[in-house]
Amino acid sequence: PQGIGSPSVYHAVIVIFLEFFAWGLLTAPTLVVLHETFPKHTFLMNGLIQGVKGLLSFLSAPLIGALSDVWGRKSFLLLTVFFTCAPIPLMKISPWWYFAVISVSGVFAVTFSVVFAYVADITQEHERSMAYGLVSATFAASLVTSPAIGAYLGRVYGDSLVVVLATAIALLDICFILVAVPESLPEKMRPASWGAPISWEQADPFASLKKVGQDSVVLLICITVFLSYLPEAGQYSSFFLYLRQIMGFSSESVAAFIAVLGILSIIAQTIVLSLLMRSIGNKNTILLGLGFQILQLAWYGFGSESWMMWAAGAVAAMSSITFPAVSALVSRTADADQQGVVQGMITGIRGLCNGLGPALYGFIFYIFHVELNELPMPESPPGSSVVTQYHLQQNSIIPGPPFLFGACSVLLALLVALFIPEHTNLSVRSSNWKKHCGSHSHPHSPQAPGEAKEPLLQDTNV
């Protein structure tokens, strides 16, 4: 068998860490290149690039997941990592091609889907949530450390070295998959015919969304997720650019902000979430997380000073408890054979938001004429004349209009979440759901039909 040793979760963890560490190094250089490439309508173009990437990932994730059931996980790990990291060396070669390839690479930017399938192949059901948590924590750890390292190296040695280093790490990840990662799906577990198991129903990205209205509780949860994650997805795509150019943060400050926010989020999603779930219950934890998200977005929207962004970042860490609490509510109330289907619905909603959110934020920035007329110098400390002059150019009463729109969206999500029952069993149309699951399952799958779908429906944002 190819690879080193038996398939393990640690193989998947290393693949994820190297890929996102490489991209994290480019956080600061990407912000500069983005403005230099699109000096006019920077936020709009950023939203369109990230929006196209998100929509393509949403459309391709089910198909790639289904194909990996046939051809094996290793080949698709190699494919997704290669095409996701392909734009990295183009940053210094041709910025236009760099952003074009980023948007198109969304077709293969579903490494997490294949990684979760890999983990599901080699773990028992009771081990799976811990294994998924390890993969997610590794993803967070890579993004906590790499932006600060990239900003430091860029300031001392220049951005070219950062791009070379990121390219080398991406190549190391590809070599690691080729040499060290063993296949988790044995040949005997794959179907005899390649054509039989792949159908349009499996590859249909809207399949999970079509079943949303079958149960009122599922509908309430999905509406809550959509209204709360839409502004979050848009915020991820533009917020660091917003800090760098509108708020006058230096590259080092942006990297430090990412690190502090990441550490606080990890604490919030582990220790704080566990305490809240035991003390106030699942539903109240969701409501509390949504409340923190409203406060955070409103603070971002009205904040005009650096300290306000740092304070709002601490609130943002607390708002990160919302989605884990929603997932826990779904897993606790859904029947055992419907876990994958219901979780797939939630993930499908988030995937759709990954495409719509960035485009929406970019469009709102464009409508309110929040443009970048001057690029603050990286060497300029906060409060310098360059930054002060730039702040005086902003005539808008509201510095960040999209964040206030997001706060209104999350407020609607909070009102919807009030109607979610605390203790209920999702009495969905079991016969229809089981029939749907059965039509999508493969004869080689060792899990129950609902469970077999779960890892393939995971989103790239965890």
| Nearest alpha carbon to residue 1 among 185, 138, 126 | 185
- List the one residue out of 4, 121, 128 whose CA is nearest residue 69: 121
Residue 456's pLDDT is 35
CA triple 64-144-46, angle to 5 deg = 60
Predicted local confidence at residue 402, as pLDDT:
85
- Helix and strand counts by DSSP (H, E) for the chain: 22, 0
Check residue 169 and give its pLDDT: 95
Cα–Cα dist 13/275, whole Å: 27
What is the pLDDT at residue 454?
A: 38
Do 43 and 361 touch, CB atoms closer than 8 A?
yes
Rg over CA atoms, the chain: 22
Tens of each residue's pLDDT in the chain, 462 residues: 576 778 888 888 899 899 989 998 888 788 788 888 888 777 888 888 888 888 888 888 777 877 777 777 888 889 989 998 999 999 888 888 988 898 888 888 878 778 877 887 787 766 666 677 677 777 777 877 788 888 888 888 888 999 999 999 999 999 999 988 888 776 555 555 444 455 666 667 777 667 766 778 878 888 998 999 888 888 877 787 788 777 778 877 888 888 888 888 878 877 888 788 888 888 898 999 999 999 989 888 887 778 888 888 888 888 888 877 887 777 666 665 455 556 656 767 777 888 888 888 888 888 877 665 444 444 444 443 334 334 434 444 566 788 889 999 999 999 999 998 876 544 444 444 444 444 444 444 444 333 333 333 334 343
Q: Which domains does the chain show, CATH number per domain?
A: 1-185 (1.20.1250.20), 212-371+400-421 (1.20.1250.20)
DSSP assignment letter at 337: G
pLDDT computed for residue 437 by the predictor: 45
Amino acid 71: pLDDT: 79
Q: How many CB atoms are located within 10 Å of the residue 368 CB?
A: 16
Helix, strand and coil in the chain, % to nearest 5: 75, 0, 25
CA distance 87 to 98: 5
Phi/psi for 452 (5° steps) reads -65, -30
